[in-house]
Structures are given as C-alpha cells and as structure tokens.
Amino acid sequence: MEENNEQGKEIKNNANIQEIVEETIQHLNNPVTDLKPIVKKYLTAVQHVVAEGNKFYFSDGDARVEVRVVSDEIIRVRLAPHGVFLDDFSYAVPVVDQKVTTFRIDETEDHYHISTNTVTCNVRKLDFQISFSDNISGQVMNEDHSPMHWEENVDFGGYYVYATKQCLPEENFFGLGDKSGNMNLRGRHFQNWNTDAYSFGWEQDPLYRTIPFYVGLHDTTAYGIFFDNTFRSYFDFGREDQTKTSFWADGGELQYYYIHGPHMMDVVKRYQTLTGTHPMPPQWAIGYQQCRWSYYPESKVKEVAEGFRSRQIPCDAIYLDIDYMDGYRCFTWNKKHFPDPKRMIKELNDIGMKTVVMIDPGIKVDDNYWVFKEGKDKNFFCRRSDDYFMEGHVWPGRCQFPDFTNPTVREWWGGLYKELVDLGVAGVWNDMNEPAVFGSGTFPNDVRHNYDGYRGSHRKAHNVYGMQMVRSTYDGLKKLMRNKRPFTITRAGYSGMQRYGCVWTGDNVASWEHLKMGNIQCQRMSVSGVPFCGTDIGGFSGEPTPELFTRWIQLGTFSPFMRAHSAGDTAEREPWSFGEPFTSINRKFIELRYKLMPYIYSVFWEHHRYGFPILRPMVMLEQDNISNHYRQDEFTFGDKILICPILEPGAVSRMVYLPKGKWFNYWSHEVLTGGQEHHVDAPLDIMPIFVRAGSVVPEYPVMQFVGEKRIDEVRMNIYYADYEVNSFLYEDHGDTFAYEQDIYSEKKFNVKGDAESLTIRQSVEGLYTPNYELYTYNVVGIPFEVKKITIDDKDIVDFSMDEHNCLQFKSNKNFHYIRITI
Ligand code: GLC
C-alpha cells in the first residue's frame, strides 16, 4: 500500500506542471457530479386532490404534495416524490398544528386555492407551481419559479430535493442564522453543515450552526420560509440566477413552512411559535462572564475572581475550560490543579462568582474511565454502518461519541452531570458538538444514528447532533437542579436550539473586522430565532489592542450573552489587563449592564413570552425604508434602546441613523429627530446609545453580581415624548420556574405628553411582588417648567431639577398614575 503511495507521489512529482494545471482546470470545468447523468424530475400537472382536515393532498399521478394549514398565517408544504411521505418528525417543530380560525379550498379553472383568514396558497393545475398571496392586498408574496423537483440517488437510497422560487428585482433576504458577512443575503449562496470553523473569515461558509429559515422582504412586505430539513442544505438568493431563489438538500424531505408577514417582526415571532423561544435564563447569566482557555490551577481561578472584586468590576461567572479535567476526560477533575473542587466552588460562590464548566462530546477510549465504560456497556456510542464504533481524535486523544439522537442516551448523559451539580457548578458549556473531529473534520456520513426512533445516517443527524447534546444537558440539569433554571451554552445547533441553551459565535479573531462581523452575526442570530447570543469579547485568537478590547466590551454590554473569552496562547484578557484609562471605561460599561439589568431582563421576557427578538436590526425597525435593507451597524436592544457601536480604530465620532420619532442621546440627553442620520460624538469612553422618547427605562443600583444586595430602591428613567408610548418592566424570582405559574410581575407603563403635561399610567400583572418600595424618578427632557407633580391624587412637594435638567423626585410606594404639569 505504502509503496504504491510512494510511487504515486513520484509520478506526480515528475509530471509536467502545465499538465497538472490543465488537469485541474478540466476538473473545475467538470465537477464530479457532472460525470453522472443528473436526471431531475419535476412535478407535472395536478391530477387530483384529497382533503383530510387541515391537510390537502395533491397528486400528479405519481408524486404527492401535502399542503397543511398550520395557523392563520403559516402553511406547510411537503413533497413525496413517489407518493409516500416520510414519518412526520422534526427536532425543530415539536408541535405542528396551531390554532386556525377558519380555512377552505376553492377550485377555479386553473388553480386550487387553500385560504385561511389572511393568506392563500395557490396550486396551479397545469404545472403544480405553488404561490402564496395576501388575502387583503392580493399581493403574491412568494411564488415558485419552477415546480418542486428531485433527483434520485441510488447510493444512499433517497432524493436530493429542490425548491426554486421567483426572486423579484427589489427583493432582499435576511436571517439564515449563523452566517458571516453582510446582513442582507441577496446575491449570495449558502450551505448548512455544522462546521468547526476556527478563525473563520468574512463570508466563510458553512459555520457552526444550521438555521434554514430566512425572511424575504419585498419593498415593504415580508414573509418567511423555514426549510425544515436537517441534511446538508443550500440556499441561493439570486446568485446563480438573479431571477431565482432556491433551497435544496442532499436528502430528506422537501418540507417547508411559508410564514406570512407583512412585518419582518411578525414573521420572526411566527417562526418562534413553530420552533419555540428561549426559556427565561437565570438572571445571573445575563451578567458579565469571564472565560479563558484555561484558568487553572485553582489559585489562578481565584486570583481572577478576586481581581474582579478588588477592582470593583462586576462579574457573575468564571469559566473552567477543558484543562480542569483529568486528561480531558469529561466529568472528571484534574486533582493536581483542583484538589478540592467543592471547596473552591463554594469559595467562589461566597464572593458571588458562579462556576461554569466545559463538557465536550468526545469520550476518551479508556477502559479505566467510568464514563467510557458505562457508555460502552450500554451501547450508547455511535457506530459506523458496518458496526464498528465511530472513533476519532479530539482533545483527549482517541474518542468515541454518544449518540445524542437517542433519547435513552440523552437521559443517561443528562444524569452524568449529577456530581458537577452536587459540587455546586452553576452552568455547563457544550463545545465541539458540530461534532468536531481532528483531521477529518467530523463523522463520516455512514455513521448510524437513532434519531429518536426515526433512524438515519450521519447525513441526516449531523446538523442536529449539537442541538441534541445541549438538549440532553439542559434537561439533565433541570432535573438535577430541582426547579432552578439551568444555564447552558452550545456551539453547534439546529433550528429550535434556543429551547435548550444560549450560543456564542465560536472561535473568532481579535480584529476590527471580527468586531464588525460579530455585531452582524448576533443581530442575524436574533432574527433567526436564536436570541441569546454573544461573541468571544476581545476575540478568541490573536491579540486585541486595548482600544479594540474596550470597543468590544462596549458592544458586548448590549450582546444578549456577555462573555470575554480568549485562547490560551494569548496575553491575559481581563477587563483590567490593559491598564488605564481602559480599565475604568471597561468598568463603566460593565456597570451599565448591571444598572440596566431590569430593562435587559424584561427584554428577555418579551422574547420568551411573546417571541420578540432581543436584538432588532434597523431593517426590522423600519422595513419600508429601503436604505435600511443595507444598514447593519445600528440596532436596538429590545424596543427602547438603540446602540450604535464603534467599529473602527481611532474613531471619535460617527454617523448614526435613527428611526422615525424622537430619540434621546443617553449620555447628553440631547433630543434628536429620527428618520435621518446624525453625526454623534464617540470618544473612547462613549459608545453612542439612544433612548426612544416616551420610554420608561428602569435601573437597579450597580452590584458586583446579581443578588449581591437586596434591592431597596429602583430608579425609573422616564423620557418625555409629545406622543404616547408603552413600556414595561418584568421581574420575578430570577432563578426558578415559578414564572410558569404566573409568579412574576409585569408592570406596563403608558407615557403621554403634551406642551403642558406628562402623564405616566401603570398597570400591574402577575403574582410576584418585588422587595423594594422606594422609587426614584428621573424625568428627562421635560419642555415646560414643572409646577406640580401628583402621584395617585397625592401632591409631591419635594422635587428638583438636577444639573442635566432632569426632574427628580421620590416616592415610597408604587403608583397607578403620575401627572407632571405646569
Ligand atoms: C474550542 C472552543 C473554544 C475553547 C477551546 C478549548 O476551540 O471554540 O471556545 O476554548 O475549544 O476547549
């Protein structure tokens, strides 16, 4: 064998370079797939239709298509090339049917029309082309370019499946989850295959996660397509042909959901009704978190933890990356570096620092290692098609891998966390679960998976492997922590992963380009249904300049997941590592995160309860302004706070676009008119932040960690508006699931102003009562001279204007209404 190889090398070495070049060009011109004749089959004329409840079956005599009314605004389409549908099972969508008000089928000369209250799915009899239209405007939102088609593959016994839609000249595209590059996807081609993409670059594809969901935006109206197919899939947004948008997959079923708008926000919220929202995270997990590969031994962990406390920089969690383990064996400890983990974790807890640990899927092949032995004895590890174990090298060396698509394996794995939970570990970080394997990249396609009883090869299970791992972790922790909210992070995932954990964008680089890219990535993940997302602040590999690190902390303050992380071969990367003035600026922004905790937490609730994305790109705020289809720096966190990060070295000011309405500069309180761009100052200690006029933005006192002190007093920042605006404040116990039993408090504020008065009304919902009774009011931007303040019929005599011209007063009880007049 070896000899042959050597000989082969020899021949190549002697070959004429020109010949090799020509050979290569020939290969490029004749991709391997072209060697086999491709026979694509298309649906032909519709021959008959059968209705079964909310499902309609169309056939061209051989293939069948199911059109299913999921809700008033969601319709699902499935194709069975030879008439037999696959089992209806999805990891992304646990329950397909939602509430439908009414639906019906009509037949015209050339079409069948299935309509709900709001949307109609039209099936053309002649050629089986499908379109979706809005019932009120009649606008066709999405339309086939050619009928659905497929290609039989005898090697694996399935079909390559294709859908090709019309791509209109003015149409733009957003979403698709974990993609780098510009926010607007028009003109690009993508592939979904979860990949360990160390130091990935601008427009590198594929990356770590698969979210086959996009939003299409015509001039002013949006719709969504969710292609629920876990195989390697592809999307093309007018790249191959400007008139076509296509999506296809290397297997599985052609199954997609059409999701109606007309607003991009409606589409995303409806996508979340299919795939679920993120559960409320423990409140501490919204605090700042510090990570590194790796903090060890114990003395180093404590030094870093105490470093935060002695410098009065807030932080809620410290991470133990792989080096805490014994030879990278999951669920073990390196006793030399961590002789008494229980004591260490307690001592960290005593100063308010939670411990989060790394757990990877690769289990070291070692008969003296209990996890390996158990997995082997129970037959829980993945096997190849001919029954050999799936083996590959990862951090511990030779490894085998649990089949997380097997519910029994998930149950077992979830239970393995018992000792870590008993030791006091507060969160778990699942990494390398694309799954990543050194050398080969990932598993070979022939590896078999249980797939919750709907068996399949790795071709089908690859993209859900990571999601099923973090699902097992989340469910296991939930049981072990007895009604405390688990905190989990995963690197890989598939649509629906948001039900089980938060994500970070993987191994980024300490560069300005990555800061810019990470900003877009987090916004994109947010509008793709995965809102609890962050980047490695500072960049994982490489060295950030002090300025870059500080600008990253500033942006990170408004990343749903705020964690600094770095590779082990880089210089230290704590918020104080760069000296002054950087330490103070970093502290100022981390403190801001803690001040805004009640606002940030409320935005998480808005996502969990109502499906709103946490970060909202400009295009989502004002989709009818075409220039916003190309903006990608500015975004809002929730509805009220707009962020405009500084993404260039040396910048001390920048242009910012503000949506229509009035906005207050958070720092200077200057009022700016939206619907246009403004030039704003941004010296190093300022990142431009704006608050929507009319907002109520609550603040807690700065704490070094969540729960450090009892909250006695809440500051209510009220921003004047001469129109009406609603805000809300959500609070609960912070770490239990009591909110599922309505034990929470949701305060709704209505702010309404005119030239002579400002009125704030409040209503409260839920069964939770916060501790505090003291309210400090800070009213910004009142345009008249205040003479009188009334809270629920009682006049407040003690009020003043501070040096920023803000009205200050206090009250020791909550209110129904406040009236401020001349
Ligand atoms: C992977 C992770 C990174 C981690 C490292 C060591 O590269 O993406 O965050 O620090 O593995 O565990």
Do 268 and 288 belong to one domain?
no
Residue 365 pLDDT:
98
The answer on pLDDT for 12 being more than 50 is: no
Do 73 and 156 belong to one domain?
yes
The string of pLDDT tens digits covering residues 501-520 is: 999 999 999 999 999 999 99
**Residue 22's pLDDT band (boundaries 50, 70, 90)?**
low
The answer on pLDDT for 27 being more than 90 is: no
Do 18 and 102 belong to one domain?
yes
**Residue 155's pLDDT band (boundaries 50, 70, 90)?**
confident
Nearest CA to ligand 1 atom 10: 293
The string of pLDDT tens digits covering residues 533-574 is: 999 999 999 999 999 999 999 999 999 999 999 999 999 999
Separation of CA 374 and ligand 1 centre (Å): 26
The answer on pLDDT for 607 being more than 80 is: yes
Decide if 678 is inside a domain: no
Do 101 and 189 belong to one domain?
yes
Do 187 and 96 belong to one domain?
yes
- How far apart are the two ends of the chain, measured CA to CA in Å? 94
Decide if 513 is inside a domain: yes
Separation of CA 302 and ligand 1 centre (Å): 21
Q: Are 679 and 637 in contact (CB under 8 A)?
A: no
Catalytic, out of 360, 507, 591, 746: 507
**DSSP per-residue letters across 544-612:** --HHHHHHHHHHHTTSSS-EE---TTS---STTTT-TTHHHHHHHHHHHHHHTHHHHHHHHHHHHHH--
Q: Respond yes or no: is residue 793 known to be catalytic.
A: no
The answer on pLDDT for 421 being more than 80 is: yes
Q: For ligand 1, which residues put their CB under 6 angstroms from it? A: 293, 321-322, 358, 431, 491, 506-507, 565
Percent share of the chain, pLDDT over 70: 95
Residue 719 pLDDT:
98
List C-alpha distances in Å: 437 to 360, 399, 445.
11, 9, 13
The answer on pLDDT for 108 being more than 70 is: yes
Which of residues 275, 302, 321 is at a domain's end?
275
Do 344 and 252 belong to one domain?
no
CATH code assigned at 262: 2.60.40.1760
Least confident of 23-27, 227-231, 592-596, 715-719: 23-27
Separation of CA 356 and ligand 1 centre (Å): 14
Domain span including residue 359: 283-610
Do 301 and 270 belong to one domain?
no
Decide if 581 is inside a domain: yes
Residue 592 pLDDT:
98
Gap between the Cα atoms of 625 and 176, Å rounded: 22
Edge-first strand order for the sheet with 354-359 is: 533-534, 502-504, 487-490, 427-430, 354-359, 317-320, 289-290, 563-564, 536-537
The answer on pLDDT for 15 being more than 70 is: no
List C-alpha distances in Å: 548 to 141, 377, 554, 733.
43, 50, 10, 36
Residue 37 pLDDT:
58
Q: Are 693 and 719 in contact (CB under 8 A)?
A: yes
Catalytic, out of 250, 431, 536, 622: 431
Do 452 and 309 belong to one domain?
yes
Which of residues 259, 275, 291 is at a domain's end?
275
Q: Respond yes or no: is residue 802 known to be catalytic.
A: no
Q: Which two tokens stand for residue 806?
A: 């803000």
The string of pLDDT tens digits covering residues 438-469 is: 999 999 999 999 999 999 999 999 999 999 99
CATH code assigned at 719: 2.60.40.1180
**Residue 17's pLDDT band (boundaries 50, 70, 90)?**
very low
Nearest ligand 1 atom to alpha carbon 198: 7
The string of pLDDT tens digits covering residues 291-318 is: 999 999 999 999 999 999 999 999 999 9
The answer on pLDDT for 13 being more than 50 is: no
The answer on pLDDT for 94 being more than 70 is: yes
Do 262 and 317 belong to one domain?
no
Average pLDDT, the chain: 95
Decide if 313 is inside a domain: yes
Domain count, the chain: 3
Mean predicted confidence (pLDDT) in 773-777: 95
Do 603 and 580 belong to one domain?
yes
Residue 220 pLDDT:
86
Do 270 and 331 belong to one domain?
no
Gap between the Cα atoms of 313 and 418, Å rounded: 32
Catalytic, out of 144, 196, 360, 434: 434
Q: Which two tokens stand for residue 810?
A: 């206090």
Which of residues 610, 643, 668 is at a domain's end?
610
Decide if 405 is inside a domain: yes
CATH code assigned at 383: 3.20.20.80
Residue 8 pLDDT:
34
The whole-model pTM stands at: 0.94
Mean predicted confidence (pLDDT) in 600-608: 98
Provide φ and ψ at 515, rounded to 5°: -65, -45
Separation of CA 198 and ligand 1 centre (Å): 9
Q: How many Cβ atoms are within 10 Å of 769's Cβ, its own excluded?
A: 12
Nearest ligand 1 atom to alpha carbon 568: 10
Q: Which of 200, 285, 288, 210 is nearest to 565 (CA)?
A: 288
Q: Respond yes or no: is residue 507 known to be catalytic.
A: yes
Decide if 444 is inside a domain: yes
